[in-house]
A and B are shown apart, each in its own frame.
Chain A
Amino acid sequence: DGGITQSPKYLFRKEGQNVTLSCEQNLNHDAMYWYRQDPGQGLRLIYYSQIVNDFQKGDIAEGYSVSREKKESFPLTVTSAQKNPTAFYLCASSMMKNTEAFFGQGTRLTVV
């Protein structure tokens, strides 16, 4: 079955360490997205990519990096420059015109 997979579901890291969140899709979707959710707030766009080897910053890209070397994969690295990394992270993918979109189950990152 086609779908989008985020891993892991829960992740713990020590302050100052970089951490990479995985997002894989086998839907042949062109576009992929990363969002962040803080308690009591809506989801905010971190990065998006519409084609391989190209990506664009969203509203809150500072402290994050991404790569899109393959169509299927869009990993997000939370760097030590991100001041408040503890949050829920959601990956999504869609066809270019957003007629079809799928959402991952999310990764809850806790930095201690």
Chain B
Amino acid sequence: KNEVEQSPQNLTAQEGEFITINCSYSVGISALHWLQQHPGGGIVSLFMLSSGKKKHGRLIATINIQEKHSSLHITASHPRDSAVYICAVPSNTGNQFYFGTGTSLTVIP
């Protein structure tokens, strides 16, 4: 059983479209992380959130602690947004993080 489930696995969008990536988790958490991994592998931390909503530029992350669900939204998507997006949550014991398998996003011009 995976502690973290992401959907969709793959996503192709036209430039300008609104994009939503979902993350569901089964453990109780203190915070959830959204990461971006570009081709070539480098990881960038996008958000860490424990409640409500955070916004950074065209990216918005929301979390519902009761439903154990988080979403990452991208408004006015652009080809440079093409990447793999990964959500991560800490284990209850604090000895590791659980990662989703990632959502591979391709934005077509």
Contacts and interface: CB of A to CB of B under 8 A. Distances in A.
A111 B100 CA distance: 26
A48 to B, nearest CB: 6
A96 B2 CA distance: 23
B100 A99 contact: no
Contacts of B99: 35, 42-43
A105 B94 contact: no
Given A42-B101, A43-B99, A96 B41 contact: no
Given A97-B30, A98-B30, A98-B90, A45 B96 contact: yes
B59 interface: no
Interface residues of A, number: 29
Given A98-B90, A99-B30, A101-B31, A56 B95 contact: yes
The prevalent SS among residues of A at the interface is strand
Contacts, number: 71
B46 to A, nearest CB: 10
Contact of A103 (B2, B45, B100): B45
Interface of B: 2, 29-31, 33, 35, 37, 40-45, 48, 50, 86, 88, 90-91, 94-97, 99-102
- What are the 10 closest A-B residue pairs judged by CB atoms, nearest first? A98-B90, A43-B99, A42-B101, A105-B42, A108-B41, A45-B96, A106-B43, A88-B41, A42-B99, A99-B30
Interface of A: 9, 31, 33, 35, 40-43, 45, 48, 50, 56, 58, 88, 90, 92, 94, 96-106, 108
19 contacts: A40-B101, A42-B100, A42-B101, A45-B96, A48-B96, A58-B96, A94-B97, A97-B94, A98-B29, A98-B90, A98-B91, A98-B97, A99-B50, A101-B97, A103-B33, A103-B45, A105-B42, A105-B43, A108-B41
